[in-house]
Amino acid sequence: MKVFRTLLFIAHLALLFLLFGVLLNAYIPPKVFWGFNFLSLGFPVMSVLYILITFFWIFSWKKRAFAFMFLGLFFLNPAKRWLNYSSGKKEIPNLKIVTFNTKGGKLGQKEIQDYINDQKADIVFLQESGPDYELDNLKGEYTLPVICFYSKYKIIARKNVFENLSDGDITSQCEQIDLEIRGKIYRVFNVHLQSFGVVKDMVKLDGNGNEDEKKLKDLVKRLIPTFKSHQEQVQLIRKSIEQSPYPVIVAGDFNAVPNSYEYYHISDVLKDSFYEVGKGSGTSFHDFKYPLRIDYIFTSESIRPVSYCVDHSAHLSDHFPVIASFKIE
């Protein structure tokens, strides 16, 4: 039993070290060291294991439990970005937003169109959008590959943020749009960061040692260059946010999880609406049967989130729709 507890203690320390490594994404970009961004993918599993071992020490009446409980407090906010317990706000919203990666409408274009119309949103951000949808009381233009934007408000100006992007990957898209809402200008960004190009068969291990090892190596080979490409893409978005003379809304598919470099780089200048008012799981990509929150809505301080919902009942894509409401003056 003593040997078991020693090994468990070492494993607990290793988990603590790895969890702190995730937090370093706020300071160290992928081009300097991509490993911390890779760790962010495993944050949910590492957190659960850390909690279980902490409970083991508590039930074993070990003093070390108090040390691990105290150190675990550092990960409360990072965990809240995945699984939130907010009570929400009591304000009456006057702006409703939907962001949804539709997978090109492959699981039912009409069903997706009907679903979005049922939401009666003011603004709709679509990624991996197929042919133009006919949305009630909303106007939209399919101006860029991959993404499409709909709104009931007047569009003042549009700009392709990634127009001069060095890698030129077609899945990397970000459009900046200036809207006039109730006599005031707001700048919104429809985002789809570069895809990893990973499908289920690439991550499904079948018990064959050689095959599984090859799959893992191939997966890492895909992740590393994409992490580095994301750094350039998210820096362009951040620069556009900081240069904006108007309040900002950023929404879309970031292909990046909470506590990643991409997340920290945007949430450092904008509010994560799920973190502010979300409830339950923020998981928005469900194809891998693993908790992956990669769809977001970020806003400026003056745009106050009132409610935030990831609709886990809508199986219209490999992503769940994200629906949020806000109070603007």
The Cα–Cα gap between 104 and 201 comes to 20
Look up tokens 């009570």; give the residue: 87
Is there a single domain that holds both residue 138 and residue 275?
yes
Mean pLDDT for 178-203 is: 85
The Cα–Cα gap between 112 and 320 comes to 11
Is there a single domain that holds both residue 169 and residue 34?
no
Give the domain-ending residue among 50, 80, 110.
Answer: 80
- Per-residue pLDDT band at 51 (split at 50, 70, 90): very high
Is there a single domain that holds both residue 51 and residue 92?
no
CA distances from 172 to 233, 253, 283 (A): 8, 10, 22
Give the domain-ending residue among 53, 80, 107.
Answer: 80
Does residue 212 surpass a pLDDT of 70? no
Helix (H, G, I), strand (E, B) or coil at 148: strand
Please check whether residue 22 is in contact with residue 39, taking contact to mean a CB–CB distance below 8 angstroms: yes
The Cα–Cα gap between 248 and 57 comes to 46
Is there a single domain that holds both residue 248 and residue 321?
yes
The Cα–Cα gap between 30 and 256 comes to 12
- Measured in degrees and rounded to the nearest 5, phi and psi for residue 41 equal -65, -30
Does residue 199 surpass a pLDDT of 60? no
Can you give the residue range of the structural domain that contains 274?
85-327
- Per-residue pLDDT band at 106 (split at 50, 70, 90): confident
Is there a single domain that holds both residue 115 and residue 100?
yes
Share of the chain above pLDDT 70, in %: 93
pTM above 0.75, yes or no: yes
Give the domain-ending residue among 32, 61, 80.
Answer: 80
Which range has the top average pLDDT, 79-93, 121-135, 185-199, 315-329? 315-329
- Mean of the per-residue pLDDT values of the chain: 90
Is there a single domain that holds both residue 207 and residue 299?
yes
Residue 91's pLDDT is what? 86
Tell me the Cα Rg of the chain: 21
Is there a single domain that holds both residue 141 and residue 23?
no
Domain with 101 in it: what CATH number?
3.60.10.10
Is there a single domain that holds both residue 21 and residue 65?
yes
Residue 89's pLDDT is what? 75
Number of structural domains (the chain) is 2
- Per-residue pLDDT band at 2 (split at 50, 70, 90): confident
Is there a single domain that holds both residue 16 and residue 132?
no
- Measured in degrees and rounded to the nearest 5, phi and psi for residue 80 equal -65, -20
- Measured in degrees and rounded to the nearest 5, phi and psi for residue 188 equal -120, 150
Is there a single domain that holds both residue 55 and residue 110?
no
CA distances from 312 to 107, 121, 323 (A): 15, 18, 11
H or E stretch including 249? strand 248-253
* Residue 11 in tokens: 């494993």
Mean pLDDT for 304-324 is: 96
- Per-residue pLDDT band at 213 (split at 50, 70, 90): low
The Cα–Cα gap between 143 and 311 comes to 27
Is there a single domain that holds both residue 123 and residue 211?
yes
Beta carbons within 8 Å of 123's beta carbon, 6+ residues apart: 95, 96, 97, 98, 149, 150, 151, 152, 153, 179, 188, 249
Is there a single domain that holds both residue 120 and residue 269?
yes
Please check whether residue 124 is in contact with residue 139, taking contact to mean a CB–CB distance below 8 angstroms: no
